[in-house]
A and B are shown apart, each in its own frame.
Chain A
Amino acid sequence: MTKIVSELSMNDLNIKFFEIMQNENNAEEAASFIFDSVCDDVTLGFVFEFHHGLKTGLTDLIEGEKEEDDSFKIVNSPECDVFGLSVLKKTQDTNCVCPNCDRPVSATRFAPHLEKCMGMGRNSSRIASRRIASNSREPTSYAGLLSDDEDDADWAGGSLHTERRKRRIKNNNSRKPAKVHKNNSSRTNNGTTNCDSNDGGATYETMSANEKKNLLLQICGVVSEHTKKLCTRSTRCPQHTEEQRRALRNSVLEPSTPESQTMGLTADDAGSPPDSSPSSSCSSSSRKRDRHRAPPKLKGKRERNISPNSRD
């Protein structure tokens, strides 16, 4: 072991420091020495980082391979946005599932829907509390199953709907309680319809034949693949095709009875002028007419329309 010749004491250091600093030239030299040392250190640090990256393969690992970004290139054109979509064209409406009620809602109408659904707007707290009340009071009723008229409006189907919606909103407050009430009375109490059921067919399976018929006169009824729930919109809802509705009616209703056929037809006929088919009470066009009637009359008419089927 070599003798340590180069060790200094703190005292030595201090004395040396004062000695050196006595001379102004030394101070100048010391300053440039410190500057050079700092420069060298910084440079060395950078070189070490670079060497570390290369030697360990870290640089290669981090850099990887540059992704081909031709398909992400910004489109530079006054007629287009950065994605190359025309500035004049409106975006296509999409659907989203409302996190509050789990029903599909048109994206462009989502905020007004959610406001009502959560009971936040001016009228909506009343609507929401009524919905909650009717759900909890009658767990076996259609209340959670049947579409509220407000939600119908959230479905951006055709342009026709807009005008209808306005009128419907005007009238729904007087009309709705009658509907809910009627549903309760027309049903037998043994039906244990569970609107939250997750297994697709269960809702239909637990209904009696009459219940199924009554229900399918009023609603589209196609079972959603995602939510496993019945579609509660009108029998002419634009989300499902006539084929889907017919197939469902064929499978749900007894094949032996002729109703499955007739009911399919009723839905078809709904498109004809209102006066030519007075029996299609469940169709959207006849509902439109009903709107102008007083609630008791409406109730009577609905019952009349349903009764022929019930008697069968």
Chain B
Amino acid sequence: MNDNGCIHLNNFKAAKGTHPYKIVHAFFVSCTSYEARKYKATSCLCFTCGKTGPRMHSCLHCIFFGCYSGHIQDHSKTKKHFLYVDLGFGNIFCAQCQDYIYDRELTDIAVTYKLKQAKSLGLNVPYTPWLPNNNEAMALRRLRKRRLISPHTTIGLRGLQNLGSTCFMNCIVQALIHTPLLRDYFLAEKHKCKAQSSGKCLVCEVSKLFQEFYSGAKTPLTLHRLLHLIWTHARHLAGYEQQDAHEFFIATLDVLHRHCMNGVEDIEKKENGRCNCIIDQIFTGGLQSDVVCTSCSGVSTTIDPFWDISLDVAGPGSLQACLERFTRAEHLGSAAKIKCSNCRAYRESTKQLTLETLPIVASFHLKRFEHSSQIDRKISAFISFPAELDMTPFMSSHRRAVDMAGADNNNAPQGIFEDNRYSLFAVVNHLGSLDAGHYTAYVRQMKGSWFKCDDHMITRASLREVLDSEGYLLFYHKTVLEYECDVS
């Protein structure tokens, strides 16, 4: 990779350093302060024609602004100044090379100023394309072959050996491996293990699994180390006989979350009281519970983190209907009075659950297994679920807006700019009866490309087939991702 500018820029840098570029960038490209924005608004006019552009450039040698179409060329002829900064993007134009040139040192300066600008305006971090560092560039040069993931190859697919009724584990692993953001995290080798002992970290084991899935090998994998690690760190799973895929999923997330925290300093751990490990970043949402006292209308609100939502399946026929019922206000009868802090007495109240924050991966658990003192049974009722799901109606902010609109019709629902669309990417199914059953999973390898995973057997599947399946665990991934402010 050649981003060392040109001879003219290097001569200039040797004579004057990077300071002139920094000044121009901080005031007229990025505007890292209110003052800078004022300067840019009032003084970025062409010295030749007095217009605001198009394509305004600043001379790097002296104070001069000029349009790209002729005016900076005139300036370079008369003044013999050859380097100009493009004020839109901060790139350098060399009039001697007659081209834009790229210098890594200046690019890095530009990136830091863009971050400062976003901070000064209270905006999210802007997108900057990935630039390889020296080592990465060398590795890319040395290893020229690129493995492409396409809908026509088995790259990213791998069968999993059944280790003796371990289909509950296999289907959860398939769902995790096909979680888009988790895949990006692990294939980018973002996990830097801080645990001291090797072979004891589940996150490292999952990292290795991703390498195996994308290695192109075709033989089924044996997840014996993974099972051992999970059982070691989640002893309550008490042997393989009574394994439930949902229970295993939650236990796996818990162990992964704990292992992500291994060796991490306490100060780093929490940011705004929220854990920022990759598991919590992807899977954790906030469930809001509002308890309204029927006497004084006082509201007591609590927000609890959640990894998945368990839904009753008796009655409603679709996922949306289940969610609608889940978020409906429920009157707690006289038998379940709650102490109202306002009235200082036990009162009847209504309780409503809504989603305060949505996780990137929304996992739904359809409660198909009913255990009571009299009877254990499986509810096989058909629940339809969509390939694309909008979660907006189940959000706390939306509910609030709807309630307000009921009283005052002029108020439009808030959060118009929020995008809460989700896409289905994995479905875990339980086949058979309560005591003799088998788990399989449908996973989406890429948009429109579905596969059925039945232990070691991976076969193509259609979206229709997926949507017609019974459904036990449903995994949805946020369709549009926002960039979050990263302090580091």
Contacts and interface: CB of A to CB of B under 8 A. Distances in A.
A91 B220 contact: yes
B239 A58 contact: no
B222 A99 contact: no
B132 interface: yes
Contacts of B140: 61-62, 64
Interface centre among A9, A64, A87 (most CB of B within 10 A): A64
B41 A13 contact: yes
B146 A87 contact: no
A81 B456 CA distance: 9
A58 B141 contact: no
Contacts of A91: 159, 161, 220, 456
B155 interface: yes
A51 to B, nearest CB: 6
B144 interface: yes
Contact of A118 (B155, B159, B232, B241): B232
A294 interface: no
Contacts of B47: 2, 4-6
A7 B45 contact: yes
B161 A66 contact: no
A98 interface: yes
Contacts of A49: 129
A132 B82 CA distance: 80
A113 B55 CA distance: 71
Contacts of B129: 49
B50 A99 contact: no
B166 interface: yes
Nearest to A124: B239
A160 to B, nearest CB: 19
B145 A108 contact: no
A69 B239 contact: no
A7 B50 CA distance: 9
Contacts of A121: 238-241
A48 B157 contact: no
Contacts of B335: none
Interface residues of A, number: 64
Interface string B122-162: 00000001011000010011011111101011110101011
B165 interface: yes
A122 B43 CA distance: 81
A1 interface: yes
Interface size class of B (residues with CB under 8 A): 35 or more
B224 A56 contact: no
A12 B43 CA distance: 12
A111 B55 contact: no
Contact of A74 (B53, B88, B141, B152): B152
Contact of A48 (B43, B91, B159, B235): B91
Contacts of A271: none
A10 B238 CA distance: 72
Interface in B281-338: none
Interface stretch (A39-47, A172-180, A243-251, A278-286): A39-47
A56 B5 CA distance: 9
B231 A120 contact: yes
Interface stretch (B95-103, B366-374, B398-406): B95-103
A122 B239 CA distance: 8
A82 B100 contact: no
B154 A83 contact: yes
Given A48-B91, A64-B140, A67-B145, A120 B54 contact: no
B222 A94 contact: yes
A72 B240 contact: no
Interface string A73-114: 110100001111101000100101011100001011111111
A7 to B, nearest CB: 5
Contacts of B46: 6
A4 B154 contact: no
A75 to B, nearest CB: 8
Interface in A144-178: none
Contacts of A63: 146
A42 to B, nearest CB: 10
B459 interface: yes
Contacts of B263: none
Contact of B100 (A2, A10, A51, A111): A51
Interface string A1-40: 1101111111011000000000000000000000001001
A115 interface: yes
A111 B163 contact: yes
A44 B90 CA distance: 12
Given A82-B451, A83-B154, A110 B137 contact: no
A118 B237 CA distance: 12
A61 B43 contact: no
A4 B65 CA distance: 10
A57 B1 contact: yes
Given A6-B45, A67-B148, A72-B154, A61 B132 contact: yes
Contact of A69 (B155, B220, B224): B155
Interface in B340-379: none
Contacts of B12: none
B130 to A, nearest CB: 9
B155 A111 contact: no
Given A6-B65, A83-B154, 20 more contacts: A10-B38, A40-B54, A44-B55, A55-B102, A65-B145, A67-B148, A69-B155, A71-B216, A76-B460, A81-B459, A82-B458, A83-B218, A87-B457, A99-B224, A105-B224, A108-B162, A111-B164, A112-B240, A118-B228, A121-B238
6 contacts: A6-B50, A13-B42, A56-B3, A56-B102, A61-B132, A124-B239
Task: Give the top 4 A-B pairs by smallest Cβ distance, nearest first.
Answer: A6-B45, A111-B164, A110-B163, A72-B153
Interface of A: 1-2, 4-10, 12-13, 37, 40-41, 44-45, 48-49, 51-52, 55-58, 61-67, 69, 71-74, 76, 81-85, 87, 91, 94, 96, 98-100, 105, 107-115, 118, 120-122, 124
